[in-house]
A and B are shown apart, each in its own frame.
Chain A
Amino acid sequence: MFDTPILSKDINYDHVYDPAEDTFLLMDALESEHNNGKFSSDKTTISLEIGSGSGMISSFIIKHKIFGKNNFHLSSDINVLAVNETSKTINLNEHTSRYDTLLMSLLSNIKDKSLDYLVFNPPYVPSDEVPVLSSQDRLSVALEGGKDGMEITNILIHQLSKKLSENGCAYILFCASNKPLEYKEKINHEYNMDLIEKRKCGWEVLSIYRITRK
């Protein structure tokens, strides 16, 4: 088992998402895909984690060369405090300059066909609407995903097919109220959606799907 990255002691979890079961499930899914030889070890690849929060998952990807030894990894968040923590966490865990961090929403700034791998633990909890980030409240945007908890994920998946490279793929977390099986049918004309990992966490059932273009 790959060890879990360390986090700095002074992260303010009132403003940055504290890694939880969802975070760990996504790392486990990436580790098992890595161990199953899903990622070429020599190819030069570009990856992006959207919504990197504390930077735990991005550090895991970089430290354990999940996407191969010739990877360049980008991390983004819409919360500037999360972006700051992400670079701190990456530096704490690995001495490298093959990464970058961006204050950015989803994928609209990314040049078409650029991404070989995309990773996203989105705000997935159902809510009346998608919250707006403010300096008083930076955590609601980490959790609340609007109708069925799917509004953010749905926008992302619409952008995805243009941004992925030829054989690119995305790893995205869903909870049961996101109705992933129904969603899979809905996007079936454009994407394959395969279950990689599933776990009961308290009263939630979380799953990680790999999404590829048809």
Chain B
Amino acid sequence: MKLLTTNFIKCSVKACDSNMTSFPLRYDNQCELELNYEDDESIIEKSYQFLVGILDKIDWDALLKVCADLGNNDLPPNKPLLTQDSLLSLNDNERLILKQLFNLLINTEIVNGSMKCDSCEHVYLIKNGIPNLLLPPHLS
């Protein structure tokens, strides 16, 4: 499960639907991560447009929370201000942020572990990179 995906997944228990604490899920700090970091700038550059668009879509606070759950507190507290226009003249710091985001969002994978809903406490497992979001019959 890619880190980016955690930004789109919430608890599916009916009673949690209107409960704000059902998103993001709380990731266990023992989760096993796999990092496939990309260093080749030219490959990362091909994803700049994608990344700026993704920044626009993601819930930054949810990303910060999931990263903190997993022991990563390196992200800036506020969403970086990058637009498609700013891609025309990037400074070194902005390039660094884009690289960091690229590696974090799509090259970091939770391969094994679990995540829990803060509202109903249901625990969802992640095995071999696949999160199991199916609910047992009594909850669905």
**A70-B50, A102-B131, A104-B133 known; A114-B8 Cβ under 8 A:** yes
- Pair A44/B10 contact, Cβ less than 8 Å: no
Chain A, interface size: which category? 20 to 34
Bitwise, B5-18 to A at CB < 8 A (1) or not (0) is: 10111111000010
Residues on A with C-beta less than 8 A from B12 are 105, 108-109
Q: How far is the CB of A142 from chain B (nearest CB, A)?
A: 16
- Pair A74/B5 contact, Cβ less than 8 Å: yes
- Pair B9/A103 contact, Cβ less than 8 Å: no
A110 lies within 8 A of chain B by Cβ? yes
A131 to B24, CA, bound (A): 31
Q: Across the A-B interface, how many residue pairs have beta carbons closer than 8 Å? A: 80
Residues on B with C-beta less than 8 A from A43 are 53
- Pair B50/A102 contact, Cβ less than 8 Å: no
- Pair A83/B130 contact, Cβ less than 8 Å: yes
Q: Which of B1-32 contact A (CB under 8 A)?
A: 1-2, 4-5, 7-12, 17, 23
Residues of A within 8 A of B (CB): 42-46, 69-70, 72, 74, 78, 80, 83-84, 87, 97-98, 100-105, 108-111, 114
Residues of B within 8 A of A (CB): 1-2, 4-5, 7-12, 17, 23, 36, 49-50, 52-54, 56-57, 59, 106-107, 128-135, 140
